[in-house]
Structure 1
Amino acid sequence: MYFIQPTRDIPYLDQVLDALPSVQMINIEDLDLYDPTIIAIADVADFLNHQWTLPTIVLAFEHEGAALAQAWQQGALAGWVWDHIPTNLQVALTKIDAQYKRNQDSRDLPSAADLQKRLLPNPIELHNYKVETFFQPSAYLSGDWYDYWKISDKEIMFYLADVSGHGVTSSLLTSWMAAFHGRSKTPRELIKKLNGMLVQENIEKHITMIAGILNLDTHVLKWSSAGHYPPAILFEPGLPARILNTSSFPLGLTEDLEVEEFEFTLNRYSRFVICSDGALEPFDGGLNEQLGQLVYHLQNQSFQAPDHVADDIAILSLRRIN
């Protein structure tokens, strides 16, 4: 924490400095040399005269109430009277510092959200196939994630994951997955690898996931689920939608995760769709009723999420177009 040397005479200066924890004394003319994110303590007159951008706690004389009010309007974090500083100064400073950091984090959220969206995979051109996606966080940052990438000229790997909870920690895990899915060659291998790393790091979160690999020549799709709901859905022309139910545990609960692999051939004009559970939120009823409505709207390509949702939504669809 900085203490900016006052430019006017302050009778209580030594008393205040003795009461403060360790601070670094700096001069006004040197402000540009210091970290602009560290809180400074300064005389209110200097703060108003120089209008620096450092986060600042101002000190004023008892008759300078108007100056204190003006300082608050200009962004001062707090205002004290020179000869009536808080009794437990360390506690007061800790609270102000914590609140300042929370406010800074909140201001950074829009930028963080923009960065997270940029980490989503770019659109991809595939022979005979179209990849369609939907992504809508409930707040700034999402705990839902999808990714896809070519592992050869004729194969594409993909997954959709849902991290438990919301907020910054969950969103960081989505970035972690994007960075560490590695060189897996099968859905089972991908899930086992991510699970092992999650258990090893002892992160108190679990992740549900559906992962798959599609051969663009043979149209064989192999996929696995790790405790994910809603289940994958297969839409085929002229046939009822198939709900591909499985039974398995999420990632992060046990080192000995059993992962079953399934496969089928994706026929012409068929779609394989995976969603996060937030896709159920726009619909009323219990889980079965919500799932039925979701399937109906996906089949008729009429799914729409409200502007404000209670849970993150992610949808990934692989459509065979020839």
Structure 2
Amino acid sequence: MYFIQPTRDIHLLDSVLEALPSLQMIHIDDLHLYDSTIIAISDVNDFLQYKWTLPTIVIGHADEGLQLSQAWELGALAGWIWDHLPKDLAKSIAKIEAKYKRNQDSRDLPSAAELQKKLLPNPIDLLNYKVETLFQPSAYLSGDWYDYWKLSDREILFYLADVSGHGVTSSLLTSWMAAFHGRSKTPRELLKKLNGMLLQENIEKHITMIAGTLNLETHQLKWSSAGHYPPAIIFEPNQDARILNTSSFPLGLTEDLEIEEFECTLNRGARFIICSDGALEPFDGGLNEQFTQLVYHLQNQSFEVPEHVADDIAILSFQRLN
């Protein structure tokens, strides 16, 4: 932490420096040479005159309330009085520093959100198929994720995952999955490897997921589920929706994870859709009522995301064109 040498005489300066021997004294003219993220302490008049960008705790005299108020408006972290400094300066500074770091983390969230979105898969042209996606975090960062990539010119592997909880830890796991996926060639292999990694690293999170492969020539669809709700859905023209119910545990709970693989063939015009449970949030009622309404709106292509969502939403859809 820095202490900026006052330009006026402060008779209590030595007592402050004695109470905080780790402070590094620096001169105003040399501010540009120092780390702009480290907190500084300075006299309030110098802060108001030079208006530097270092995060700063200002100190003034008892009759300088206006100056302290002006410094606060300019972004000072705290304002103290030379004659009435906190009894435990080190402890007070530690609290201010912790709060400052938390605020800095919050300011970084918009940039982190943009970076997360850049990790989503790029749009892809597939022979005979149209891909549609939706990604709507409830806050800056999302614990829902989808990805897809080509295993060959005629086959793709895809998944949609929902990490338990919210916040930075859940979103970091989505980035981890984005970096991890390329090692797997089948849905079962992907789920098994992710489950093993979660248990090995002792990450106190679980992940629900639907993963699958789609053959673009034979239109054969294979998929597996790890405790994911809502289930995958297939819509075909002039037919009732097909709900692809499965039963299994989420990833990260047990080593004895049984992964079943299911398969079917997509007919012309069929749409295969997987969603995270946040897609249920716009609808009223219990889970069954919400799911019924979701199916209706997806089938009629009338699903709309509210402006403010309580849970992350992710949707991935593949539609056979011919």
Which TM class, normalised by the smaller chain length? over 0.9
> Could you report, residue by residue, the CA deviation over 1:69-106 in whole angstroms, capped at 9, with x for unpaired residues?
11111110000011211012222112111111121112
SS of 2:84 mapped into structure 1: coil
- Does residue 226 of the first structure (1) align with residue 226 of the second (2)? yes
Say which SS state the counterpart of residue 211 (structure 1) adopts: strand
Letter in 2 for 1:71: A
The offset of 1:146, in angstroms, is 0.4
How is 1:21-40 mapped onto 2 (pairs within 5 angstroms)? 22-40=22-40
Q: Determine whether 1:58 maps to 2:58.
A: yes
Aligned to 1:212: 212
Q: Which runs of 5+ in 2 are unaligned?
A: none
Distance 1:256 1:23, change over 3 A: farther
Given the superposition, is the C-alpha separation of residues 125 and 9 from structure 1 closer, same or farther in structure 2, using an over 3 Å criterion? same
Tell me the amino acid that sits aligned with residue 48 of structure 2.
Answer: L
Q: State the TM-score, normalizing by the size of structure 2.
A: 0.98
Q: How far is 1:21 from its partner? A: 5.3
> Do the aligned residues in 2 keep the contact of 1:21 with 1:90 (CA within 8 Å)?
no
Question: What are the equivalent positions in structure 2 for 1:132-281 lying under 5 Å apart?
Answer: 132-281=132-281
Structure 1 match to 2:287:
287
Q: CA RMSD in A?
A: 1.0
Letter in 1 for 2:27: N
Shift of 1:256: 2.4
> Is contact 1:222-1:261 (8 Å) kept?
yes
Deviations 1:189-244 (A, max 9, x none): 00111111111111111110000011111111111000100011111222211111
The secondary structure found in structure 1 opposite 2:83 is coil
Distance 2:115 2:48 in 1: 36
Structure 1 residue aligned with 2:76: 76
Aligned-pair CA distance for 1:255: 2.1
In structure 1, list runs of 5 or more residues that go unmatched. none
SS in 2 for 1:32: helix
Counterpart of 1:104 in structure 2 is: 104
Q: Secondary structure at the match of 1:181?
A: helix
Amino acid at match of 2:247: S
Deviates more, 1:232-241 or 1:290-299: 232-241
1:127 corresponds in structure 2 to 127
2-structure distance, mates of 1:190, 1:80: 57
**Distance in 1 of aligned mates of 2:93 and 2:249:** 46
Q: Tell whether 2:4 aligns with 1:8.
A: no
Identity %: 80
Which letter maps to 2:112? A
Number of the residue aligned with 2:47: 47
Looking at structure 2, the residues matched to 79 and 222 of structure 1 have their Cα atoms a distance apart, in angstroms, of: 64
Rounded to whole Å, the distance in 1 between the matches of 2:250 and 2:39 is: 43
Divergent runs of 4+, >4 A: none
> Number of matched residues?
322
Aligned mates of 1:198, 1:182 — CA distance in 2:
17
Q: Separation in 2 of the partners of 1:124 and 1:52?
A: 48
Equivalent-residue separation in structure 2 for 1:266 and 1:21 (angstroms): 73
Distance in 1, matches of 2:35 and 2:199, equals 38
- Answer whether contact 1:2 1:40 (CA < 8 A) is retained: yes
Aligned-residue offset at 1:126: 0.4
Q: CA separation in 2, counterparts of 1:312 and 1:11? A: 57
Once residues 60 and 310 of structure 1 are traced to their aligned partners in structure 2, the CA distance between those partners, rounded to angstroms, is 45
1:184 partner amino acid: S
Segment of structure 1 superposing worse, 82-91 or 9-18? 82-91
